[in-house]
Amino acid sequence: MAALALTPPTAGQSQPRRSSCWGRRRPPPPEPRPPTPTPAEGLRCEEEKVAARKTAPMTGGVKKPLRSVALREIRKYQKGAELLIRKMPFQRVVREIAQLHKSDLRFQSHAMLALQEAEEAYLVGLFEDTNLCAIHAKRVTIMPKDVHLATRIRGERH
C-alpha cells in the first residue's frame, strides 16, 4: 500500500468541498408579494372581506372581561362618592319593609338618602370583610360562605 501524501493545494487549484452533516441550510428565499391593487380593486377586496366577516358565524359567546377592566372599575368606584344603588328601587324596598310593620308611613327625602347612605356603607364594609375571608382561604373570588363567615365573625348572625 502506498501512503498518500497530503500536500496543500497550489495556486489555481481548489480544495475539494467537504459535506458536513451539521452544516446550516439556508432558508428558502421569500416568495414575491402580489402586486398592490389599484384603488378600485382594493375597495372591492375590502368589501369582500367585510362581507365575509358579516356572514361568518359567531363562536365563543360572551367575551370574558379582562382583569384590568375589573381593577379599573374598582378604582373608579373607590374614587367616586356617588350612591351606587338606584334611588327609586331602594325606596320601593324600604317602603315595602315599612309596610310590614306599620301601614301609612311617610318618609322625608333626606331620611331616605340617610338610609341609603347607611346601607351602602354597611354593604361596602361587609364586602371588604368578605374579601378578607376569601383571601384567607387563598382565593380571589368571594363566595357565599365568605359572606356567612364575615357576618358570623361580626356577631350579626347566630
Give the tens place of pLDDT for each residue, 54-84.
Answer: 665 666 678 776 678 888 988 998 898 899 9
Alpha carbons within 13 A on the beta-carbon side of 60: 5
Alpha carbons within 13 A on the beta-carbon side of 41: 5
Distance CA 136, CA 75 (A): 23
- Phi-psi category of 133—alpha, beta or left, where left has phi over 0 and alpha has psi -120 to 50? alpha
With 80 as the cut, is the pLDDT of residue 117 above it? yes
Determine what percent of the chain is predicted with pLDDT higher than 90. 45
Per the prediction, the chain carries an average pLDDT of 81
With 80 as the cut, is the pLDDT of residue 17 above it? no
Distance CA 28, CA 69 (A): 44
Per-residue pLDDT band for 51 (boundaries 50, 70, 90) equals low
Distance CA 58, CA 28 (A): 38
With 80 as the cut, is the pLDDT of residue 103 above it? yes
With 90 as the cut, is the pLDDT of residue 111 above it? yes
In this prediction, residues 93-99 reach a mean pLDDT of 96
Q: Sketch the domain layout of the chain as residue ranges.
A: 108-158
With 90 as the cut, is the pLDDT of residue 139 above it? yes
Q: What is the pLDDT at residue 155? A: 94
| Superfamily name with CATH number, domain 108-158 | Histone, subunit A (1.10.20.10)
In this prediction, residues 37-55 reach a mean pLDDT of 62
pTM for the model stands at 0.55
With 90 as the cut, is the pLDDT of residue 138 above it? yes
User: What's the per-residue H, E or C state across 100-111?
Assistant: HHCCCCCCCHHH
Backbone phi, psi, residue 16, to 5°: -65, 145
Distance CA 114, CA 118 (A): 6
